[in-house]
Amino acid sequence: MAGSSFGKLFTVTTFGESHGSALGVVVDGVPSLLPLTEADIQPFLDRRRPGQNRFTTARSEPDRVKILSGTYEGKTTGCPLAMAVFNEDQHSSDYRNLKDIYRPGHADMTYDLKYGIRDHRGGGRSSGRETIGRVAGGAVASLILNRLGVNVLSWVSSIGPVTCSPDRFDPEHLKKSPLAMPDPEAEKEAAVFLEHCKIARTSAGGTVTCTVTGMKSGIGEPVFDKLDACLGKALFSIGAVKAVEIGSGTQAASMYGHENNDQAGTDENGLPVLLSNHAGGILGGISSGSDIQVKVTFKPTPSISREQSALRPDGSVSPLIIEGRHDPQIPSRAAVVVEAMTAMTVLDLMMINMSSTMDSLIRFYG
C-alpha cells in the first residue's frame, strides 16, 4: 500500500486499522503559529462517532484524540503534527466467523487478492474507522481555512428516497441533527424510512452535499491538478462513494448550453455577479470566487443482516448472515469526512497557488 498520503504541501498521512492498537495521522506542512490543542480537534471527531442515536451503530467508541508532536505551548511549530486515537476495545473474537468469507460489497476479497493476507477484524484498514485520521487532518485544514475567511460545510442531502429541501435548510438544526440533515421535516421522514430498512434487514444509500463559502478565486492548478480533479480524487477516496458531482453535475447532461452557462448580471447594489452557479464555483479547473458546490453519492451500507450469497477464499459460494449492529446508512457519519477531504484539498491548492505570479513572489521575497 503506497497510497496513504494525500496532498502536496499540506500532506496528510493516515495509519491504523479498525482493531489495531491505534489509528491516526501525520499532518505535514501545517503552517506555524496556529493555536491548536486537542480540544480544537475533538469536536470534529465526535461528529463521525457512532452511538449518537439509534440510527448509527451502538458500539461505544469515545475516540479521544492525542497530539503526539508538532505543537509547543498550544501553537503549531511548523513541524509534522502527529495525532492518534488509541483503541481501547479490541474484541477481535467477534469477527472470527468472517475470517474465511468475503462479505458482499466489502473490500475483504480485494485486499486478500492484492496482499495475500488481511486483517479481517472489523474490516481492518478498509473500516470506516480509518477516517479518524482524515477527520483529524481535515479539522486542522478547516481551522486554518476559517482564519482565512473560507468555510467548508457539508450535510446529508438525501437518504434513500427522502431528499432535503433547499427551502427548509436550517443551519441551526443541522448542528444538532442526529442524521446530519438540515431539513427537520426530511429528517423525520428519513427516520421512518430507516426504521423500515432495519425491519427489512437492509440498508439505505444517500447523498452528502458540501459547499465552500468565502472561496478565494484562482485556486486550482490546470491541467491535471484542477480544483475539481483534486476534489474528485479526495471524495472518491472515501469508502462507499459511487459518484461525485460538481455544480450542475449529472443534470448537465440533459441541459442546453444556454441553460447551463452562468450568465452575468447585477445584484441589488448594481455590482456584477453571475446569476447562477451551474459551474459549482469552478471554471477550467480554477475557482472563480463563487461558492464551491459538490455532491457525493454513498452506496447503502454493505453490512446487512439479511442472508446473502458470498464468495469464500477457496472459491466456493456460501450463504452469509452478518451479525451485530450496523449503521443502516453511511452519509450521516460520512458528512464530516466529506468536509475534511474538501478542506484539505482546498487548503493544499491555496498553498500551491501562492507562487503563481511574479508579483506574488516579489511581494513575498523582493
Task: Please identify which residue in 198, 311, 313, 325 interacts with a copy of itself, judged by CB under 8 A.
Answer: 311
Query: Strand 81-86 to strand 151-159: parallel, antiparallel, or no bridges (unpaired)?
Result: unpaired
By CB under 8 A, residue 5 contacts a copy of itself: yes
Mark residue 232 as left, alpha or beta (left: phi above 0; alpha: psi -120 to 50; beta: remaining): alpha
Minimum CB distance to a copy of itself smaller for 177 or for 207: 207
Does 199 sit near a copy of itself (CB under 8 A)?
no
Nearer to a copy of itself (CB atom), residue 174 or residue 352: 352
Selected from 61, 216, 277, 313, the binder of a copy of itself by CB under 8 A is 216
> Which one of 22-30, 51-59, 171-179, 182-190 is the stretch in contact with a copy of itself (CB under 8 A)?
22-30
Q: Counting contacts by CB under 8 A, is residue 3 touching a copy of itself? A: yes
**By the rule CB under 8 A, 168 interacts with a copy of itself:** no
Handedness of CA 91, 97, 100, 101 (dihedral sign): negative
Q: Which of 24, 122, 138, 182 binds a copy of itself (CB under 8 A)?
A: 24
Burial string for 288-319 (b: 16+ CB within 10 Å, else e) reads bebbbbbbbbbbbbbbbbeebebbeeeeeeee
For the segment 176-195, give every residue that binds a copy of itself (CB under 8 A).
none
What mask of x and - would describe binding to a copy of itself in positions 51 to 70, judged by CB under 8 A?
---------------xxxxx
Instruction: Decide: is 171 part of the binding site for a copy of itself (CB under 8 A).
Output: no
Q: Which residue has the cell 449529472?
A: 250
Residue window 261-290: x/- pattern of binding to a copy of itself, with contact defined by CB under 8 A: xxxxxx-----x-x---xxx-xxxxxxxx-
Q: Is 95 in the site for a copy of itself (CB under 8 A)?
A: no
Alpha-carbon distance 59 to 123, whole Å? 15
CA-CA distances (angstroms) from residue 152 to 155, 161, 285, 323, 334? 10, 26, 18, 37, 14
CA distance 340 to 142: 7
Quick one: CA dihedral 43, 80, 129, 19, positive or negative? negative
> Contact with a copy of itself (CB under 8 A): which of 40, 64, 105, 325?
105
Number of residues near a copy of itself (by CB under 8 A): 171
Measured from the CB atom, is 41 or 304 closer to a copy of itself?
304
CB 170, min distance to a copy of itself, A: 22
Which residue from 168, 202, 291, 313 is in contact with a copy of itself, where contact means CB under 8 A? 202
Return the H-helix or E-strand segment holding 150: none
CB within 8 A of 1, min separation 6: which ones? 115, 125
The answer to whether 90 contacts a copy of itself (rule: CB under 8 A) is no
**Residue 115 engages a copy of itself in binding (rule: CB under 8 A):** yes
CA-closest candidate to residue 12, choices 166, 211, 233, 260? 233
Q: Tell me the CA end-to-end span of the chain in Å, nearest whole number.
A: 43
How far is the C-alpha of 185 from the C-alpha of 199, rounded, in Å?
22
Give the residue with the Cβ less far from a copy of itself, 175 or 250: 250
Exactly one of 306, 321, 323, 324 binds a copy of itself (CB under 8 A); that residue is 306
Task: Out of 47, 49, 129, 226, point to the residue binding a copy of itself (CB under 8 A).
Answer: 226
